[in-house]
Amino acid sequence: MLRKTLLGMGLLFFIMALLLRPAFAQDAYLVGCSMAVTGPGAEIYGPVKDALDIYFKEVNARGGINGHPVKLIIEDNAAQPSKAAADAKKLVTQDKVLLLINASLSSTYAPMVQVAQQFKVPIFFAGGVCPDEVYPPKTDPYQYCSTAFGAKYDSRFALSFIKEEAKGPVKLGLVAMNIPISRGEIDFAEELSKTMGIEAVDKEVTPPPTPDYTPFAAKIKSAGANWAYAWAPWGCEVRVFEALRKLGWEGKYLAYAHINAEDELRRLKDDGFYVFGTNAFFADNSEIHKKIKAASEREKSIFPYTQLAEGWIAATVLEEILKKTPWPPDPEKVRSAMNQLKVDIKGLKGGPLAWTMDNHYRTATYYRVYKWDSKKNGIVIVKDWTRLEVK
């Protein structure tokens, strides 16, 4: 009896789900998002979704954009390319969204880009690594990116910072994780270090599921490195650093600042741990940071407010795009709005984020370096906004 009931229910759900389609309001700006809310990398993309939800709930409460509400249709692709492709097709053809947002692992990029190009809908990368096609000069007309980290520009800034800060000979250890993006960047950094006169003494590529980072750290230490540079997912970066410290290494460590970098600086309280990035930390306590903190408390966000910066930036950019898209909207109008975008990110980044027809990353990117200072017992800025032209 139990079996028959379950079977009947299951069949009913199956059929209902395939036939029924929820309808969306016709007077709203429809934005389709395919994110890795569960699955690998969810700790990076979950906060992006959280921030988008909170931001647009408040925008809609204030009356929406151009008098119309904004509806975010969010699908979970669990970092699986096939699901990302199918969800993208559904969003574009059934729900008729104006643009697609991708916040997921890079393996989901190509299928979604294919859908975007086929149906001529712009795709906005908001939390994952920016693909090559958003950088000038070979910019793809349909791909745009607002994420903080940028391949090659990050390493250029990082190495010049290390050279400047070291004020002496540098023996550099490099840390990457064995995923193609991280390895590619560190390989590039290795090449760059030769031209900048920095001696790269060791390069460690850690496999993703590593129980113990001590062997890798031991190699860096025995190679005699006095500085180390890491560009990898946060877990790898911080655990190699902790292993190095446990081995008694006294050198300085520069890591790319992911969304949880601020909390981790507070946890580690180490003067030799530098993080660099393009987003300002909440320790600055500027207006926008107070606003985000208040919104997160009001709406009871799932993730702590210190991790919402990236998503907030994406939401601000999205709002600006939709503001410039006249009603009635369609993907072409959205695209032309995106091609001439200039958004003032109000203290979250070093300067405005600007897109042009040929540059879908940003025309200039600004970096800052933070570290913990035990004398002041707080997070301090080591180097303020440095501008790098993106051409």
Partner 1 sequence: MQLIMNTVVLASLYCLICCGYVLIYRASRVLNLAHGELMTIGGYFLFTVTINLFAGPIPSFLLACIFSLTLGFIIYFFLMRFMTGESVFAAVLVTVALGILLRGLMTSIWTSQLWHPLQHLGMENSSHRLMEEAVISTFGIIKILGAAFLYLVLFFCLKFTRWGLRMRAVGENPLLASRRGIKLHKYYAFSWGIAAFSGGFAGMIQACDSGLDPGMFVIGLKAFPVVLVGGLDSLVGVIPGAFIVALAEILAINYISPQASESAPFIVLLAMLLIRPWGLFGTKEELERV
Partner 2 sequence: MAFASGYFKTSYASDLFLLETRTHWVFLIILIVGLIIFPFIASPFLLDLANQVFLALIGAIALMLLTGYAGQISLGHAGFIAAGAFTTAILFKELNAPIFVTLPASGLMGAILGIIFGLPSLRLKGLYLALSTLAMHFIVTYLGAEYETKRGFATGVLISPPSLGAFKMEDPRLWYFLLLLIDILVILFSINLVRSRSGRAWIAIRNREVVAETLGIKVPFYKLSAFIASSIMTSIAGCLFAYYRGFVSVEAFSLFMTIEYIAMIIIGGLGSILGAVFGTIFVVLLPYVIDAIGKMLHVPTRLTTYMFAIQYGSFGLIMIIFLVLEPGGLVNIWNRIRNYFILWPFKYKPLGK
Q: Which residues contact 310 (CB under 8 A, 6 or more apart)?
A: 47, 48, 51, 126, 127, 147, 148, 259, 279
Measure the CA dihedral 255/240/271/226, to 10°. -90
User: Of 81-89, 100-108, 239-247, 331-339, which segment contacts partner 1 by CB under 8 A?
Assistant: 239-247
Exactly one of 8, 63, 180, 208 binds partner 1 (CB under 8 A); that residue is: 208
Q: Which of residues 112-151 bind partner 2 (CB under 8 A)?
A: 114, 129, 131-132, 151
x-marked contacts with partner 2 along 267-306 as a string, rule CB under 8 A: --------------------------------xxxx----
Comparison of 127 and 350: residue with beta carbon closer to partner 1? 127
50 in contact with partner 2 (CB under 8 A): yes
Q: How far is the CB of 302 from partner 1 (least distance, A)?
A: 6
For helices 42-61 and 287-299, the axis angle rounded to 10 degrees is 90
Exactly one of 46, 251, 272, 277 binds partner 2 (CB under 8 A); that residue is: 46
Q: How far apart are CA 121 and CA 92, in angstroms?
A: 8
Q: How far is the CB of 291 from partner 2 (least distance, A)?
A: 18
Using CB under 8 A as the binding criterion, the count of chain residues that bind partner 1 stands at 36
Provide DSSP, 11-51: HHHHHHHHH------TTSEEEEEEE-SSSTTHHHHHHHHHH
82 in contact with partner 1 (CB under 8 A): no
Closest CA to 116 of 360, 362, 391: 360
Using CB under 8 A as the binding criterion, the count of chain residues that bind partner 2 stands at 59
Residue 19 corresponds to which tokens in the numbers above? 């036939």
Comparison of 6 and 247: residue with beta carbon closer to partner 1? 247
82 in contact with partner 2 (CB under 8 A): yes
Q: Which of residues 303-342 bind partner 1 (CB under 8 A)?
A: 303-304, 307
212 in contact with partner 1 (CB under 8 A): yes
- Given partner 2, partner 1, none, residue 307, with its beta carbon under 5 to 8 Å by kind, binds partner 1
Q: How far is the CB of 301 from partner 1 (least distance, A)?
A: 11
Q: How far is the CB of 3 from partner 2 (least distance, A)?
A: 5
x-marked contacts with partner 1 along 287-306 as a string, rule CB under 8 A: ---------------xxx--
Q: How far apart are CA 99 and CA 185, in angstroms?
A: 29
Comparison of 110 and 357: residue with beta carbon closer to partner 2? 110
End-to-end Cα, the chain, rounded Å? 69
Upper half-sphere CA count for residue 35 (Cβ side, 13 Å): 25
Main-chain phi, psi angles of 208, to 5 degrees: -55, -50
User: Of 79-87, 140-148, 313-321, 329-337, which segment contacts partner 2 by CB under 8 A?
Assistant: 79-87
Exactly one of 82, 94, 118, 178 binds partner 1 (CB under 8 A); that residue is: 178
Tell me the C-alpha to C-alpha distance, in Å, between residue 306 and each of 40, 48, 54, 284, 351: 21, 12, 14, 12, 20
Upper half-sphere CA count for residue 266 (Cβ side, 13 Å): 8
239 in contact with partner 1 (CB under 8 A): yes
User: Of 134-142, 174-182, 241-249, 267-275, which segment contacts partner 2 by CB under 8 A?
Assistant: 174-182
Using CB atoms within 10 A of its CB, is residue 278 exposed (0-12), middle (13-18) or buried (19+)?
buried
Q: Which residues contact 105 (CB under 8 A, 6 or more apart)?
A: 36, 40, 41, 79, 128
219 in contact with partner 1 (CB under 8 A): yes
Point out which residues bind partner 1 (CB under 8 A): 38, 40, 42-43, 46, 178, 204-216, 218-219, 234-235, 238-239, 242, 245-248, 260, 267, 302-304, 307
